[in-house]
Structure 1
Amino acid sequence: MNDLDPIVAGLNDNQNLNSKEVLELFVDLFTERGPEVVSQEIFTDYLKIKKLEGDEYSELSSEILSQLSTIDIGFYSDYIRNIEKNGIRFVPFYAPEYPDRLWKIADPPLCLYVDGDVNLLGDGVAIVGTRSATEHRLEFVREIARALVEMDKTVVSGLANGVDAAAHRGALEADGDTIAVLPGEVQKIVPASNRELGEQIQKKGALVSETSSKVGIHRGRFVERNRITSGISTAVIIGASGKTGGTIHQANFAMEQEKPRFLYESEIDDGQSPDKLYKKGFRGFHTLDELRKLLNSDFTPLNPDSTTPTKLDDY
C-alpha cells in the first residue's frame, strides 16, 4: 500500500467525486510522479496549485481539498491492510488490474474492492433483469449464462433475486466464471438470502464493490452500482424487465455507455419485454442461436486509437 491508496479510498466513498475529470486531474499529476511516490503532502500541494490556475480544474481541486480534510486516513489505511490480509484486493484506478472499460464511462469509481479473481474484470457480459421474472424467463436466463460460458465469457450480474441470481447459477452450473457487483461493502453479501450463492461466486469468480465499510447501503446504491455492472462488461443482456424499476436504470446506463444491448423476447406474452427498451437501442432475440449471432456481430473491442486514457502503465 502506498500513501495515495487511503486518500483515493476516502475520496471514492464520496460518490460525488466519481467522474472522468477527477481521473484526469490525477493523470496530470502522474505525468510528473508515479502513484507510488505521491504522498498526501505532494497531492495537497498539487491541488493548491491547480486551484490557483483558474482553469477547468480549479473548482474541482478546491472541492477535493475540502474533502481531504475530512478523510480519516488512519481508518482507510487499516481497512485496506485488513481486507488484503483476508485476500481481498484493493484496486485503485492506477492499478494494472483496474478495468480499461471503466475509464470509458462518465462516472468511473476511483477504486474497486475485489474478493476473488481480479483477472476476470476485463471480458464479461452482463445479464440483468427484474427480481419478479417469470419462471420461464429464469430458466432461459440460466441457459443464456451457460451459453456464454461455452463462449468463454464471464457472466456479470448483481446477485439480486430473480434474473441476477439465475444468471450467476447458470454460469456456476456450467463450471464458468461469474462476477457479482454488490451495492455495499464487498464483505457483506446482499441480499442475505443469496449468501451461499455469493460464497460460491467468490470461489469461482469474484465479488466486486466500489465502497468501503464506511458507506452504508441505501436505495440509491442499488442504482449506482449498475453503472459498474454494465461498465465492466462488453455487452448487456436483459432477461426480463418491468416497465419501471432497477432494470430500466441499468438499461439507461448501457445506452449511455454505448454497450451492445440485447433483450430476451419470450414467446409467452408476459409483459416483461417492455417497448421502451427498444427505444433505448436494445435488440430482441428469441433463441440462443439468435443471441450468439448478435453477440458475434456486435462485440467490439475498445478503440485502440481512442484519446481517452485507459491505463497508467507508463507512469
Structure 2
Amino acid sequence: MDDKLYWVWLSSIPGIGAVKSKKLLEHFQSPYNIWRAEEKQLIELDFLTNRDVHNLVSNKIKEDAKKHLENIFKNDIKILTINDQLYPPYLKHIYDPPVVLYVKGSLKKDEKYLAVVGSRRATSYGLSMAQTISRELTEYGITVVSGMARGVDSYAHKGVIGAGGRTIAVLGCGLDIVYPYENKNLMHSIIENGACISEYLPGTAPLAGNFPARNRIISGMSLGVIVIEAGERSGSLITADFALEQGREVFALPGNVCSLKSAGTNRLIKEGAKIITSIEDILEEININFSDENIEEFFEKNILDEKFFRGLNQEERTVASCLKNEPSNIDLISKKTGFSVQLVSSILIMLELKGIVEQLPGKIYKLKY
C-alpha cells in the first residue's frame, strides 16, 4: 500500500492536529506504525483522549483516507511530508508543524522565505508598498510568502509575479478551492511562479477558524514577517504574534498616525518591531545566506526557543532577543532597542520574575537556557 496513504490518513483524523500527530510520530516512528497500532497501545498514551483513540482505530476513517488520496491525485496535488527534503526547513522547528503539506506548484530546497502580510482593506498606499517591497525582495532572490487574501496579500504576490520571481501562497482551505474566487487567475500565476500550499485536505472549506492556524505556517516557514498595513484587529497581527513566538523577526511599515488602517502596524513599531523605510532595513536584519548545513546552527544559536517567547509581550521579547548571542548590560540593551534605560530596567525585572533572564555580577544579564 502506498506510503502516502498513511500520511494522508494521519492528517485527516478528527481531533488529531499537528501537535498530537507529532507526538504520535515520535512514539511510533512512522504513520504506518500508527495505522497498525492496537487500541491498548494507544490508550496508554496520556496525550490522547478516548475520542482520539476511537478515531485512530476507526476503519471508516481509514477507508475515507483512500478516497482522500484518490481525490488528491485527481486534483494534481503533491503530498509533502515533514520527512521530505523539500519540506520548508524552518517550519520543522516550530512548536506545531503540520506533518503533511499539500502542494500545487513547486518548492525548492534552497529557498529563503520572507512573509509579506497586511490588511484585506488596505489603502492605495498599503497596496502600492506591498507590491514594491515584494518586487524588491525578489531582486535579492528572496521568495515571498503570503496568504492570497484580498488586499495586501494579493498585491504582494502580484509584485513578485510581475518581477518574474517566486512566491508561495499558504491557504486556509483545500487546494481545489479558490478563495477568494476573484483570485482565480492569480492562483494560477502563483502556481506557475512558485506554489500554493495548505495543510488542509482537498474539499476543506475556507472556514474562519482555519486562517489563524494558516498564519503560523506563513510565519513559521519564513525568516521574518513584514507587516505592511494593519488595523488594531487585523489578522496579520496574529501572524506577527506567531512570528515572535517562533523567534522570527517582525518588520512593520509606518503609516499615517491618524489612519485606523495603520493603527496595528504603528503599534507594532511602538512595541519594538523593526521599522521599514527601505528594503535595506530588512536586509540588514535578516541573514539570507544560510546553507542547508547550518540551518540547525541557526536555530540553536540565533533564535530563542519558543518557550521563552510564550507569555511575553512584544517589549519583553525585544529585550530578551538582545541576549540571544551573549550576556549584556542595561546600557547596551537600551542602545540596541531604542528603549530608555528606565524601561529596559523594568522589563528586565519582569523577565527575571518570569524566569527568562538572570542577573550576573556587574549588572550583566543573560538568558536562562
TM-score (norm 2): 0.71
| 2:231 counterpart (242, 247, 250) | 242
The count of corresponding residues between Structure 1 and Structure 2 is 294
Alignment partners' CA distance in 2, 1:178 and 1:292 = 18
Alignment partners' CA distance in 2, 1:64 and 1:100 = 29
Alignment partners' CA distance in 1, 2:55 and 2:212 = 24
Instruction: Tell me which residue corresponds to 2:244.
Output: 255
Instruction: Tell me which residue corresponds to 2:6.
Output: 4
Q: What do the CA deviations read for 1:178-199 (whole angstroms, capped 9, x no partner)?
A: 0111110011110001111111
Q: Indicate if the aligned counterparts of 2:152 and 2:228 stay in contact, CA closer than 8 A.
A: yes
Q: Indicate if the aligned counterparts of 1:121 and 1:232 stay in contact, CA closer than 8 A.
A: no
Q: What do the CA deviations read for 1:146-196 (whole angstroms, capped 9, x no partner)?
A: 111111111100001110011000000110000111110011110001111
Judged with a 3 Å threshold, the aligned counterparts in structure 2 of structure 1 residues 18 and 109 are, in CA distance, closer, same or farther, namely same
Q: How far 1:217 sits from its partner (Å)?
A: 2.3
Q: Indicate if the aligned counterparts of 1:4 and 1:38 stay in contact, CA closer than 8 A.
A: no
Instruction: Tell me which residue corresponds to 1:313.
Output: none
Q: What do the CA deviations read for 1:39-65 (whole angstroms, capped 9, x no partner)?
A: 722xx23x633533xxxx423275542
Judged with a 3 Å threshold, the aligned counterparts in structure 2 of structure 1 residues 224 and 125 are, in CA distance, closer, same or farther, namely same
| 2:53 counterpart (65, 86, 92) | 65
Partner letter of residue 199 of structure 2?
Answer: E
Judged with a 3 Å threshold, the aligned counterparts in structure 2 of structure 1 residues 117 and 297 are, in CA distance, closer, same or farther, namely closer
Instruction: Tell me which residue corresponds to 1:303.
Output: 296
Unaligned runs of 5+ in 2: 306-369
Instruction: Tell me which residue corresponds to 2:198.
Output: 209
After TM superposition, which residue ranges in structure 1, 4 or more long, deviate above 6 angstroms? Answer: 297-301
Judged with a 3 Å threshold, the aligned counterparts in structure 2 of structure 1 residues 115 and 263 are, in CA distance, closer, same or farther, namely same
Instruction: Tell me which residue corresponds to 2:84.
Output: 95
Pairing of 1:28-107 with structure 2 (within 5 A): 28-30=27-29, 38=33, 40-41=35-36, 44-45=37-38, 48-49=40-41, 51-52=43-44, 57-60=45-48, 64-70=52-58, 72-107=61-96
Partner letter of residue 131 of structure 2?
Answer: R
Alignment partners' CA distance in 2, 1:180 and 1:246 = 16
Partner letter of residue 21 of structure 2?
Answer: V
Alignment partners' CA distance in 2, 1:150 and 1:15 = 43
Q: What do the CA deviations read for 1:72-111 (whole angstroms, capped 9, x no partner)?
A: 2233223223423543111222333322222222222221
Q: Indicate if the aligned counterparts of 1:142 and 1:170 stay in contact, CA closer than 8 A.
A: yes
Q: Indicate if the aligned counterparts of 1:180 and 1:208 stay in contact, CA closer than 8 A.
A: yes
Instruction: Tell me which residue corresponds to 2:23.
Output: 24
Judged with a 3 Å threshold, the aligned counterparts in structure 2 of structure 1 residues 162 and 15 are, in CA distance, closer, same or farther, namely farther
Unaligned runs of 5+ in 1: 309-315
SS in 2 for 1:74: helix
Alignment partners' CA distance in 1, 2:227 and 2:109 = 21
Q: Indicate if the aligned counterparts of 2:114 and 2:144 stay in contact, CA closer than 8 A.
A: yes
Alignment partners' CA distance in 2, 1:231 and 1:248 = 14
SS in 1 for 2:223: strand
Instruction: Tell me which residue corresponds to 2:121.
Output: 132
More displaced stretch, 96-105 vs 227-236 = 96-105
Q: Indicate if the aligned counterparts of 1:235 and 1:260 stay in contact, CA closer than 8 A.
A: yes
Q: Does 1:111 align with 2:113?
A: no
Q: How far 1:288 sits from its partner (Å)?
A: 2.5
More displaced stretch, 262-271 vs 225-234 = 262-271
Q: Does 1:190 align with 2:173?
A: no
Partner letter of residue 121 of structure 2?
Answer: S
SS in 1 for 2:120: coil
Q: Which has the larger radius of gyration?
A: 2
Pairing of 1:271-286 with structure 2 (within 5 A): 271=260, 272-274=262-264, 275-278=266-269, 281-286=272-277
SS in 2 for 1:79: helix
Partner letter of residue 101 of structure 1?
Answer: Y
Judged with a 3 Å threshold, the aligned counterparts in structure 2 of structure 1 residues 219 and 256 are, in CA distance, closer, same or farther, namely same
Alignment partners' CA distance in 2, 1:73 and 1:121 = 35
Q: State the superposition RMSD in angstroms.
A: 2.9
